[in-house]
Amino acid sequence: MQIAVLALQGAFIEHEQMLAKIGVSSFEIRQRRDIERPFDGLIIPGGESTVQGKLLRELGLFAPLKEKIEAGLPVFGTCAGLLLLAEKIENDTRSHFATMQMTAVRNAYGRQLGSFYTEAEFKGIGIIPMTFIRAPYIAAVSGEAQVLAEAGGHIVAARQKNQLVTAFHPELNEDTSVHQYFAEMVEQSRL
Ligand code: GLN
């Protein structure tokens, strides 16, 4: 199994380290020719969704990656990655890949609560640590998107078939269970 990590901006190294910890090999996508290598899954890291969206388009990565996601490539978006996958962003005129049936809210916790830590139940895993950094939350899911976790009264993780998103950063804690969960999704899609 080979997982590609989008490495244009943001917290991509931490995802690579998590994958290494669970014994999954990965490589970075930085330019168009990187996606010519075969890969079984894609991670879109946290960072700034506007910057990543702009770079994806400028580098000619946007259309081919959107096509792969629509064709069923397993994808895991954290934080800014969640925003890139959301069909609609409530407080932004832009949308990006827009492949996941949900409405997200950017910088949803305001300045005071911009960053915080909590622990909450993740469906199929149990109670896990959750670190939020200027995070979005999911205002609503529709269609085939399913809620996987809620914290503080908001949806913070969801799945739609091969697409997984978390508003928090599982790559910033020791706990590898969400990465394991994604690796299992990738494994299932290869069968
Ligand atoms: N606030 C960022 C955005 O709007 C997301 C923050 C993050 O990824 N940690 O893209």
pLDDT range class, residue 28, cuts 50, 70, 90:
very high
Pocket lining: 47 vs ligand 1, CB cutoff 6 Å: yes
Q: What span, in angstroms and rounded, lies between the C-alpha atoms of 93 and 43?
A: 24
**Using 50, 70 and 90 to split pLDDT, how confident is the model at 18?**
very high
**Taking the model in full, what pTM does it have?**
0.97
Tell which atom from ligand 1 comes closest to the C-alpha of 79.
8
**CA nearest 26: which of 182, 134, 191, 189?**
182
**pLDDT at position 109:** 87
Q: What is the pLDDT of residue 24?
A: 98
What's the rounded mean pLDDT across residues 19-44? 98
For ligand 1, is residue 133 a contact (CB within 6 Å)? Answer: yes
Ligand 1 centre from 83 Cα, in Å?
Answer: 8
